[in-house]
Amino acid sequence: MGLEQFKNRNVGTQNYTKLDLGETPANGFEQFKQVAKRTFKGELFVGLWVTLREMINALFKGQMHTVKYPFEKMPISPRYRAIHDMLRLLESGHYRCIGCGLCEKICISNCITMDTRYDENQRKEVTEYTINFGRCIFCGYCAEVCPELAIVHGPRYETASEQRASFSLFEDMLTPIDQLNLQQEYDGFGAVSPNADANIKKTPLAY
């Protein structure tokens, strides 16, 4: 297919649907008729009614659109990608992060820095974990790649702060241990789908 059809700028030959714009008045009497028709058509009063209807809707039917922002907030989508949260295991209260480093690897703006070591039980322990929010583009890849749903995007979109370090340490993002019962499961990128149980299949062992 070539570009010929796009190069055809001849409007008249194509298959357009013309709007019904009426006849252009040809002489003085038709112009007068048009003016008289438009004058008495009442379109202006339709306009008046539209604004009055909106005023009535807003004042008496609770359809005011204003959200008084600092005092009221709109609900945000669970898939909204704001400042990251680090979740804990509900059973033990231990953080979910297993120190695999996938988020650090996938981060396209190289803003995640983590360091791990083996603790006395030979488990991976996160010794250092920071996200440089000056670089983070909130793409969501870290949450998507995380195998443990440990790093997720939280709902905290008001990110004004005196220091940008205020958000970026592991402890700042981790669910406080005393608010573990309030921890919300994540519905966004990489989360388990609602019908995950139905999708489970036996692992084919007969390779």
Partner 1 sequence: METTLAGHAMETLPHVTWLGVLIKAIIILAVISAIAGFGTFIERKVLAFMQRRLGPMHVGPYGLLQLAADGIKLFTKEDIIPQNANKFIFMIAPIITAATAFIALAAVPVFPDFTIPSWIPLLGGTFVPSIAADLNIGILFVLGMMAAGLYGPLLAGMSQANKWGIIGAARTAVQFLSYEVVTGLSILAPIMLVGSLSFVDFNDYQSGGIGSWLIWQQPVAFVLFLIAGFAETNRTPFDLLEHEAEVVSGYATEYSGMRWGMFFIGEYANMITVSIIAAVVFLGGYSVEGIGWLTIILKVAFFFFLMLWVRASWPHIRPDQLMWLCWKVLMPIAVINIVITGIVMMV
Binding residue for partner 1, selected from 50, 108, 137, 192, defined by CB under 8 A: 50
| 57 part of the interface to partner 1, by CB under 8 A | yes
In whole angstroms, what is the distance from residue 126 CA to residue 198 CA?
Answer: 34
| 27 part of the interface to partner 1, by CB under 8 A | no
> At closest approach, how far in Å is the CB of 77 from partner 1?
23
Binding residue for partner 1, selected from 65, 121, 160, 194, defined by CB under 8 A: 65
| 54 part of the interface to partner 1, by CB under 8 A | yes
In whole angstroms, what is the distance from residue 180 CA to residue 95 CA?
Answer: 11
> At closest approach, how far in Å is the CB of 38 from partner 1?
11
Residue placing its CB nearer to partner 1 in the complex, 53 or 94: 53
- Interface with partner 1 by CB under 8 A: which residues? 35, 39, 44, 47-48, 50-52, 54-55, 57-59, 63-66, 68
